[in-house]
Structure 1
């Protein structure tokens, strides 16, 4: 896989991205604001774009750091380890690079699993934890993601992610939107992530990341019984009641890991409650941070 070159990355709207050279590869990130640090961690096939709409609301009172994980967005996509532990270690390296002692972790989906792994490996660096439709709290996960772990996915994915297929799907989408159909936030976010798989480096990173946490039967990594200091960790759990990627029942299981967690359910939101209901999400986060 090819690392990004130079010292610049594609900018987030209104928030120029910076690049840190970590372990020989370029990691793209947004860093803005001042105060205690919020470290946002996107999910599988995501990027900093999933969070930047919240920056204006938060960076007046907090420092906001939003990386593109390795294998995602404008960051490098090296051949190597894409396990939760590896991602967590890179995020530790990033905050070391930025001179940040402790962070509030905000992790969505896969990013929630990475955040919990970060808590396990580096508990002294964590002020609080926010899990958003997080992985790592149960076995169930969408069949779409389970299919990526099946034999032969390496051969199928280049075909369905090809420009020929994508152009035709987009043509159909434009036609049905003309008839009044509007895609849900989940569909729009998933499609944007899927289109990032047009190159071989991204596909390889996607498969390696997915297979590190999922098998054909579901999620393979669980936080239960792993975080011995979980009772003392201030934790907020946010979930959409219409999440079809990771069911909302996992939100209730969060208390098995974090007995004192605050659980907030967003009615009618899907797997991306921070995109479905951004104002409510920002308010819930601010209330938790200032409590």
Structure 2
């Protein structure tokens, strides 16, 4: 665990494991603590990188307004700092849209993406309302209550809840509000067909409000696989084993394919 001082006022990050890298991206209010189980399990096979977005968790307040492009640029700075040329990216919920932004803006730094309960835009009234309420609560002093609700719903145990909630409350109210605002404004749907990196899409069978987003991404992305898990929205903490296995199989299959292509070129 360390602070990258060359990004804003500092960017808190951690890396664990060796080999092909995976960088995880969290949604507003939550932090890298939400990926504890991915770090623990996937670091046995890969280099797992997590970070707290500016003004979230242990990353200090950002004077620059948070946008998806700024967050994606910060991810590039972190890769440069770690000496990593290319990585897989995994985004949860609205963090999935940041993965899409990264694939659009920095395709040469990506091996592929994993989108868990994500979207390319917020187009339905249910999610618009939920995000708008979260933004309002953050702005008007309701962050502790919002943090309690979000942390509890993303926890599978009391100890996990305490960790996620404690980290969430460390964030900057203003930056968290900015992130929620960016979620409502962002839309890359019309650019999806230009993404040529492989993408794994993972959604909850019971997460009905996100099924249209799953179908949309599955239809428009050039190279993708769509998987469903018998869960609602909060897959990283509630269906850890299945998600981690999907990620492991996805990356391993892509590596085998890449190795075969390289061997074919050498022989020819």
Instruction: Please report the TM-score for the alignment, with normalisation by the length of structure 1.
Output: 0.75
2:37 matched to 1:37? no
Pair 146,191 (structure 1): closer, same or farther in 2 beyond 3 Å: farther
The CA RMSD over aligned residues, in Å, is 2.9
**Equivalent position SS for 1:76:** coil
Q: How many residues get paired?
A: 246
Verify the 8 A CA contact 1:70 1:78 in the aligned structure 2: yes
2:193 matched to 1:240? no
Q: Determine the structure 2 residue equivalent to 1:258.
A: 221
Verify the 8 A CA contact 2:122 2:183 in the aligned structure 1: no
Verify the 8 A CA contact 2:204 2:235 in the aligned structure 1: yes
Verify the 8 A CA contact 1:18 1:29 in the aligned structure 2: yes
CA-to-aligned-CA distance 1:155-175 (integer Å, 9 cap, x gap): xx31x345xx69xx89xxxxx
Task: Indicate which of 120, 130, 134 corresponds to 1:144.
Answer: 130
2:113 matched to 1:101? no
Pair 74,186 (structure 1): closer, same or farther in 2 beyond 3 Å: same
Verify the 8 A CA contact 1:39 1:65 in the aligned structure 2: yes
Task: Indicate which of 19, 23, 26 corresponds to 2:3.
Answer: 19
Pair 222,242 (structure 1): closer, same or farther in 2 beyond 3 Å: same
Verify the 8 A CA contact 2:138 2:173 in the aligned structure 1: no
Q: Determine the structure 1 residue equivalent to 2:45.
A: 61
Q: Determine the structure 2 residue equivalent to 1:177.
A: none
2:176 matched to 1:206? yes
Offset, 1:192: 7.6
CA-to-aligned-CA distance 1:25-48 (integer Å, 9 cap, x gap): 111111111111111111111111
Verify the 8 A CA contact 1:45 1:193 in the aligned structure 2: no
Distance in 2 (CA, whole Å) between partners of 1:223 and 1:193 is: 30
2:239 matched to 1:277? yes
Pair 153,42 (structure 1): closer, same or farther in 2 beyond 3 Å: closer
Distance in 2 (CA, whole Å) between partners of 1:198 and 1:29 is: 17
Task: Indicate which of 223, 238, 249 corresponds to 1:287.
Answer: 249
Pair 251,31 (structure 1): closer, same or farther in 2 beyond 3 Å: same
Structure 1 moving runs of 4+ over 3 Å: 183-199
**Equivalent position SS for 1:204:** helix
Matched ranges for 1:168-187 at <5 A: 185=154
CA-to-aligned-CA distance 1:134-178 (integer Å, 9 cap, x gap): 13245121523122456x973xx31x345xx69xx89xxxxxxxx
